[in-house]
Amino acid sequence: MLLGAPALPGEYGRVSPDITCAGHPVGLPGGHAEREPKVNMQEIRAVARQREIKPGRANKVDLVHKIQRAEGNFDCFGSANLGICDQTGCLWREDCFRVAAKGMKASA
């Protein structure tokens, strides 16, 4: 489970300065995110289960998309192909850039 993560619905897609991931600050005042540690599948599955989403064999992109949709957010994880994203408070932001750069896609 993400350390310090909020338990309220819809809050995993956005961060505040006091939320941490794996013990590291995720956001700074003003919406500027520090370099976040890579979020692993075990953490993503834990978030999904907490949202009553069955992770099954979904890949990382598909599972984050399911979480984003369940929270009422855009399911845009992994789509920042040019390294541009206006979702500065997103918990998945840094990992999203890495996934987009690798060209990982959701399953068809």
Q: What is the pTM of this model?
A: 0.64
Structure tokens that stand for 58 in this block: 């979904």
CA dihedral 40, 75, 29, 3 (to 10 degrees): -30
Domain annotation covers residue 108: no
* Residue 108, pLDDT above cutoff 90: no
Domain annotation covers residue 86: yes
The domain of 87 spans 20-102
Domain annotation covers residue 2: no
Domain annotation covers residue 34: yes
User: What pLDDT does 5 receive?
Assistant: 43
Domain annotation covers residue 15: no
Confidence of residue 70 (pLDDT cuts 50, 70, 90): very high
Number of domains in the chain: 1
Domain annotation covers residue 8: no
Cβ–Cβ < 8 Å for 84, 76:
no
Domain annotation covers residue 69: yes
Q: Using the 8-state DSSP alphabet, how is residue 25 labeled?
A: E
| Residue pLDDT, tens place only, 22-49 | 333 344 333 434 555 678 999 999 999 9
User: What pLDDT does 78 receive?
Assistant: 94
Domain annotation covers residue 6: no
**Average pLDDT of the residues in 14-27:** 37
Average pLDDT of every residue of the chain:
74
